[in-house]
Amino acid sequence: MLAAAVEKNAYDVALENFDIAADALGLETDVREMIKYPERILMVTLPVRMDNGHVRRFEGYRVQHSTVRGPAKGGIRYHPNVTLDEVKALATWMTWKCGVVNIPFGGGKGGVTCNPKDMTMTELEHLTRRYTSAILPMIGPKQDIPAPDVYTNPQTMAWIMDTYSMTKGYPVPGVVTGKPIALGGSLGRNEATGRGVFYTTLSACEHLHLPVKDARVVVQGFGNAGSIAANLLHGAGCRVIAASDSTGCVYNRAGLDMPKLMLHKEHTGRVSGFPGAEPITSKELLRTECEILIPAALENAIDEDNASGVKAKIIAEAANGPVTPEADRILESKRVFLIPDILCNAGGVTVSYFEWVQDEQHLFWESQDVYNRLERVMKTAFGEVLKIHKDHRVTMRTAANMLGVGRVAEAIKLRGLYP
């Protein structure tokens, strides 16, 4: 029984959150039917010749949840646990996320079920180019724009951009975002998600009158978003007292030295073994007393079994769907202030939008321009979500979903139904 609750389907969670927001908005049934479910779903079989000469088959997906407000936008993840339902859930959340930060994109997502850690660079390139060829009819700078996600990176995007461009006969840098700078990538894109988490966390501290200096921070998931958010909070005067990745967790009551921990992670590939820190379990990490908890790993990290042990004042969802609906209710009863994922981690898609704009205009911005624009977008979105939270007396998650769903609903009403 408990195992079934822990493993709750991510897509079911996405639909449940939609229904809560739609009920709060009083959305008509017709509008719900038009915006709740994905517009397009593509499942592909990917035969790839491996380094040993044998052909291995992989499965891939691309889901376009909505193109009502603009091209579909969303990352591609390579992970052994990728499923169609997970990709559908992530595409759905991307739609509302783009609505929350008010950028002219809809939601998309892609994934390949594989273990990139067991593959060579040559095999990953072959897989990526095969996957790109398979989803080619769906992607393009005006219809669907992929980006990096779990275990994909700028190099992956470079292969996708090259494969797409070769079929067109000319360079099309705007087909993906999160590219290397040399191929039309944007300055500031690599740290965009972490910066978005940082800006919204500062806004939450201001709202709660919580001093940033010496605020204790715990980070679950010391990847790109988690490490950059932690480092920026460290620079603002916070004490990052615990951090984890897939290899283990480290703790230091006086605070971990973020620049040194990031170097340790870069050199060793893990946070465990960091000098001056003691190991703790993943369960202990979530129970660590702190002001700010940043779940930056995968979905369903905080569930009904461990939510009661959380001792944070603020949860900043750097990951997608890290808190289950059951855990939401427990945390709400404990008066934990939650910054929902579709607001908190929207810095990545916001700077992806900036990159796409720069590619389309063939005119590129300085990094400080990117940071300033991102800060304005994130703080404006936080203020709009907070206002709905106060005015309607709903949770922050419901408020964020109401903002995102409401903007998509408005667009669909204005556009009407064709034919």
Catalytic site positions? 109
Angle 10-25/396-415 helices, nearest 10 degrees?
70
* Residues 299, 320: Cα–Cα separation, whole Å: 6
* Residues 73, 62: Cα–Cα separation, whole Å: 11
DSSP symbols for 197-243: HHHHHHHHHHHHT--STT-EEEEE--SHHHHHHHHHHHHTT-EEEEE
Handedness of CA 371, 377, 380, 382 (dihedral sign): negative
Could you tell me which residues come within 8 angstroms of residue 316 by beta carbon, excluding any fewer than 6 positions away?
197, 200, 201, 204, 229, 292, 293, 294, 339, 344
For 50, counting Cβ atoms within 10 Å of its Cβ (0-12 exposed, 13-18 middle, 19+ buried), the class is middle
Chain Cα centroid distance, residue 245: 17
Could you tell me which residues come within 8 angstroms of residue 330 by beta carbon, excluding any fewer than 6 positions away?
304, 307, 308
Instruction: Count other Cβ atoms within 10 Å, centred on residue 273.
Output: 12
**Tokens at residue 309, please?**
């042990």
**Tokens at residue 59, please?**
């499965």
Handedness of CA 214, 194, 222, 403 (dihedral sign): positive
Place of tokens 């919580």: 210
Specify the DSSP class assigned to residue 186: P
Q: Which helix (H) or strand (E) holds 62?
A: strand 55-64
Cα angle at 7 between 35 and 314, to 5 degrees? 75
**151-154 — which CB contacts under 8 Å span 24+ positions?**
151/77, 151/78, 151/79, 151/116, 151/117, 152/75, 152/76, 152/77, 152/78, 152/116, 153/178, 154/178, 154/179, 154/180, 154/185, 154/190
